[in-house]
Amino acid sequence: MASLNIQNVEKHYGELKTLKGVNIDVDDGEFLVLLGPSGCGKSTLLSAIAGLAPVSSGQIIIDGVVVNDIESAERDIAMVFQSYALYPTMTVRRNLTFGMRVRGASRQQQDEAVKRVAAILQLDQLLDRKPSQLSGGQRQRVAMGRAMVRQPKIFLFDEPLSNLDAKLRTDMRAEIKKLHQREKTTTVYVTHDQIEAMTLATKIVVMMGGEVQQIGSPQTIYEHPANLFVARFIGSPAMNCLGGTLALEGAEAVFVGNSGLRVSLGPISAGYRAHVGQAVVLGVRPEWLAQSAQAEIQAVVDVVEPTGADNFVMLVAHGETLMARFAPGVGEPGQRIGLAVDLSKALLFDATTEQRIAR
C-alpha cells in the first residue's frame, strides 16, 4: 500500500492542454474515483500515474518518491483495463501468473499467489479454461486477479465495467468493493458512471476540461457541490436548477425565479446577503421536494415514471419544470400538488461564476 500525491500536473499535446494544474492527494488505503464526462482528462491522468503518458510539468509522487522519470514497470502499480487485455491462448492460470513468470518468480511463489487470488475471486474452478470459455464478468475477475497476484502498492482501474451488462456491473461493483475492504490497497478508479463513483469511492475527484472541479467524499459531492457543473453532473435524476434573483423581504431571503416562481429561503445569512439583487440559480435535488398542502409552490403533475422503489414525478410550476422523487403510487398526470422545499439542503449558486454561495 502507498500514498499518492499529484502536484501541479499538466499534460500538453501541442497547443492542446488535456490536464491543467491538477493537484490531488490520496492517502494510504483510499479508494479514489476520477469522475467526469468523456474527454475531461481522467484517463490521461490515470495513464500519467501509470507511467504510460509522461507529464508535461508537475510531479507524481508514490509513497514519497517522485516517479516522473521512473519506468512504468518499476512503479509497483497494477492496472486493470476496460478491455480485460487477457492472452486468448493462455489458460486462466497462465494469464494470472504471466507477469510473475516474466519477473522470474519461482513456481512455488506462482502457485501460492494463484491459490490466494483464486480463492478471493472465486476462480478456483476456472483456472484451466481459456478466456473464450468465460463470461464477461469472469474475464474481468481474471483481469483483476492478474493485478492482485503482484500485491502492488497501487491498483489502477480504467473503466473496467463499461463493457458489462447492467446486472454484471452491479455484481462486479460489489466484488471490487469487497476486494478493497479486504486488501486495503490504495486504488485509483476511472469512470464516467456516477453510480460507480458514489458506491465505490472513499474520495471522488470530479473533472471537466482537464481541471479538477471538486474533491470530496461521495456525500459531500452530492449534498454540497462546489459549482453548477458538479451539481448537474452528480445525481440521477439530475438536480433541479432554476434561474432567478435573490431578494430580501424583511429579514427573509427569497428566491424569485425568472418565471415568477417564489421560494422563501428563511432568515437571510451573511453569505446570502452579499448576493441580494444579483442573478442566482436555486438548486434542489428531487428528494428535497415534498408534498405539502400549505406549500407556497403549487404545481401540476405532468409525467410520472414509476421505478418500483420510487416514483419520479415531473411537475410544472409557474412554467418551470421540476423533478421530484416521491413514494410509489404518488402522483397522477394532471393532479395539483403543493411542494415544499427542504430549506436545510437547498443550494444557491452565483449565476455568473456558477460557484456555490456559502450560507
Rounded average pLDDT over 16-26: 96
Name the percent of the chain lying above pLDDT 90: 74
Beta strand 186-191 with 31-35 is parallel
Give the three cell numbers for residue 198. Answer: 458514489
- Is the pLDDT at 185 greater than 90? The verdict is yes
Burial class (CB in 10 A: 0-12, 13-18, 19+), 75: buried
Rounded average pLDDT over 155-184: 86
Rounded average pLDDT over 262-281: 95
CA angle 199, 205, 207 (to 5 degrees): 120
- Is the pLDDT at 335 greater than 80? The verdict is yes
50: Cβ–Cβ under 8 A, 6 or more apart, which residues? 72, 75, 77, 79, 156
| pLDDT tens readout for residues 293-321 | 888 899 999 999 999 999 999 999 999 99
- Is the pLDDT at 139 greater than 80? The verdict is yes
Give the sheet arrangement for strand 31-35, strand by strand.
77-80, 154-158, 186-191, 31-35, 203-208, 211-216
| pLDDT tens readout for residues 192-234 | 999 999 999 999 999 999 999 999 999 999 999 999 999 999 9
The identity of residue 317, as a single letter, is: A
| pLDDT tens readout for residues 99-128 | 888 788 888 988 898 898 888 888 889 999
Partners of 227 in the beta sheet?
Answer: 355
- Is the pLDDT at 84 greater than 80? The verdict is no
Going by C-alpha positions, the residue among 264, 290, 237 that lies closest to residue 348 is: 264
What one-character DSSP code corresponds to residue 251?
Answer: T
Between 102 and 32, the more confident residue is 32
Rg for the chain, CA atoms, rounded: 25
* pTM for this prediction: 0.90
HSE at residue 199, side-chain half, CA atoms within 13 A, is 15
Going by C-alpha positions, the residue among 61, 93, 65, 95 that lies closest to residue 80 is: 95
The identity of residue 96, as a single letter, is: L
List, in order of start, the domains of the chain with CATH numbers. 4-233 (3.40.50.300), 240-350 (2.40.50.140)
Residue-wise burial string across 226-252, b where 16 or more C-beta atoms lie within 10 A, e elsewhere: bbbbbbbbbbebebbebebbbeeeeee
Say how many C-beta atoms besides its own lie within 10 A of residue 58's C-beta. Answer: 17
Name the percent of the chain lying above pLDDT 70: 100
- Is the pLDDT at 34 greater than 90? The verdict is yes
Instruction: Please give the pLDDT value at position 103.
Output: 80
The identity of residue 281, as a single letter, is: V
